[in-house]
């Protein structure tokens, strides 16, 4: 669709693509739903998933961060152990493989050379590969045994946004489908829960001024920033910091809240921005303890929490969605914070320095 590659009224592709996320989630629901409202998925993929004893997720950049979330779905719902690997590391330092491995390549473009080199190697070893991509005709799609399509439409901005949420949504569907194929009873309907997510996303993209204000307050002049989270939120803060680094050039790291005290907290000074995400009930108390620890050392903290776990002092409260799917909503403020930080610092949002949309060299 030619219109998809136009900015329309948007100043940047990144903002347009952030806004498209609720529509992408609805499109995914539609594409992966049969006429009885059950999951529709290629029978060959179901068969392949059913017989594996371990899954190896291979990806780079933002797709790697989506893989960290996908692992939780596959382990918690489908009961399959999962390892998530950075493609460029796996290539040169292959771990001991299980007896019946399956490789899932997550790649927006389907062209990332680091991932392809792993694909070539594991195909030589005779293993099965499934590619989750936004470009079905891409190299990684053609060379794998199976493909799951993200249906996110062209992603033009170098910093990936809608592909990340699409990857997580598709992996949730895949995990539940696999669980069902294995006879595991679940009280989690991903298609229905994703519908709730789409509406929640919309309410967030409707409140951009809130995130613009937070970005101005937190990132106007700072040389660095820290993001903290635990459990599911730890994966999202890693993506949040990558987003900020990529487009605003602010040095940022995403840390596991409990790990701060083992080194990183030494970097906290008066006014250091620390953004915390709290969407998981089991760690809500402990992440708030970590926020107090950094505040006691002068940090300027901003807590973004899930409705039901929120406290009065939180900077923003996210609409409630299923606990497993919180990355799909908590990442939206993170994308918008990075966007506005870059905008206010006069950075080239869609084409950051030194980066390419798809890296086809190793």
Query: CA angle at residue 163 from 160 to 166, to 5 degrees?
Result: 150
Position 315 contacts ligand G6P (CB under 6 A):
no
Position 335 contacts ligand G6P (CB under 6 A):
no
Determine whether 357 is an active site residue.
Answer: yes
3-state secondary structure of 306: strand
Position 117 contacts ligand G6P (CB under 6 A):
no
The span of 61-69, 116-124, 228-236, 308-316 binding ligand G6P (CB under 6 A) equals 61-69
User: How many residues form the binding site for ligand G6P (CB under 6 A)?
Assistant: 15
For residues 77 and 55, is the Cβ–Cβ distance under 8 A?
no
DSSP element (H, E) containing 236: helix 232-248
Position 138 contacts ligand G6P (CB under 6 A):
no
The pair of three-digit structure tokens given for residue 193, joined into one six-digit string: 């829960």
Distance CA 301, CA 214 (A): 11
The pair of three-digit structure tokens given for residue 24, joined into one six-digit string: 């992408």
The span of 56-64, 178-186, 224-232, 322-330 binding ligand G6P (CB under 6 A) equals 56-64
Distance CA 93, CA 350 (A): 34
Position 231 contacts ligand G6P (CB under 6 A):
no
The span of 60-68, 119-127, 196-204, 283-291 binding ligand G6P (CB under 6 A) equals 60-68
The pair of three-digit structure tokens given for residue 346, joined into one six-digit string: 């006069």
Which of 91, 112, 272, 305 is the binder for ligand G6P (CB under 6 A)? Answer: 112
The pair of three-digit structure tokens given for residue 60, joined into one six-digit string: 């780079």
Looking at beta carbons only, is 86 or 196 nearer to ligand G6P?
86
Distance CA 329, CA 267 (A): 29
Give the chain's count of helices (H) and strands (E): 13, 10
Position 107 contacts ligand G6P (CB under 6 A):
yes
For residues 140 and 119, is the Cβ–Cβ distance under 8 A?
yes
The span of 102-110, 178-186, 215-223, 292-300 binding ligand G6P (CB under 6 A) equals 102-110
Q: What is each CA distance from 199 to 25, 131, 191, 314, 358, in whole angstroms? A: 10, 28, 13, 22, 30
CB of 252 to ligand G6P, least distance (A): 15
Position 160 contacts ligand G6P (CB under 6 A):
yes
Distance CA 80, CA 202 (A): 33
The span of 103-111, 120-128, 248-256, 289-297 binding ligand G6P (CB under 6 A) equals 103-111
Looking at beta carbons only, is 26 or 162 nearer to ligand G6P?
162
Residues in the chain: 362
The pair of three-digit structure tokens given for residue 241, joined into one six-digit string: 């910091």
Which of 11, 282, 355, 362 is the binder for ligand G6P (CB under 6 A)? Answer: 355
CB of 293 to ligand G6P, least distance (A): 31
CB of 43 to ligand G6P, least distance (A): 27
Residue with tokens 């990806």: 59
CB of 50 to ligand G6P, least distance (A): 27
Binding residues vs ligand G6P (CB under 6 A): 60-63, 107-109, 112, 115, 158, 160, 355, 357-359
**So which residues are the catalytic ones?**
357
């Amino acid at each position: 669709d030619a219109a998809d590659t136009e900015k329309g009224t948007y100043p940047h592709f990144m903002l347009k693509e952030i806004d498209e996320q609720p529509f992408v989630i609805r499109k995914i629901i539609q594409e992966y739903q049969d006429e009885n409202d059950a999951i529709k998925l290629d029978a060959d993929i179901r068969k392949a998933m059913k017989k594996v004893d371990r899954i190896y997720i291979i990806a780079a950049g933002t797709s790697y961060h989506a893989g960290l979330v996908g692992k939780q779905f596959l382990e918690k719902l489908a009961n399959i152990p999962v390892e998530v690997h950075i493609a460029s590391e796996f290539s040169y330092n292959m771990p001991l493989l299980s007896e019946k491995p399956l490789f899932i390549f997550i790649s927006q473009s389907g062209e990332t050379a680091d991932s392809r080199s792993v694909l070539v190697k594991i195909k030589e070893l005779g293993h099965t590969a499934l590619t989750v991509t936004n470009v079905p005709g891409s190299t990684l799609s053609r060379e794998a045994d199976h493909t799951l399509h993200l249906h996110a439409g062209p992603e033009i901005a170098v910093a990936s946004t809608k592909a990340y949420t699409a990857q997580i949504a598709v992996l949730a569907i895949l995990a539940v489908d696999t669980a069902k194929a294995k006879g595991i009873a679940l009280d989690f309907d991903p298609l229905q829960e994703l519908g709730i997510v789409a509406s929640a996303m919309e309410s967030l993209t409707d409140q951009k001024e809130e995130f613009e204000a937070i970005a101005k307050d937190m990132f106007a002049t700072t040389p660095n920033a820290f993001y903290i989270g635990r459990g599911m939120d730890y994966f999202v803060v890693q993506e949040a910091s990558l987003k900020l680094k990529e487009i605003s050039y602010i040095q940022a790291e995403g840390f596991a809240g409990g790990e701060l005290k083992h080194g990183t907290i030494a970097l906290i000074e008066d006014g250091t921005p620390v953004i915390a995400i709290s969407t998981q009930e089991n760690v809500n108390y402990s992440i708030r303890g970590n926020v107090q620890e950094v505040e006691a050392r002068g940090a300027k903290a901003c807590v973004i929490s899930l409705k039901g776990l929120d406290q009065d002092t939180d900077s923003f409260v996210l609409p409630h969605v299923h606990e497993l799917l919180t990355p799909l909503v908590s990442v939206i403020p993170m994308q918008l914070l990075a966007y506005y930080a870059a905008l206010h610092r006069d950075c080239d949002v869609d084409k950051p320095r030194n980066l390419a949309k798809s890296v086809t060299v190793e």
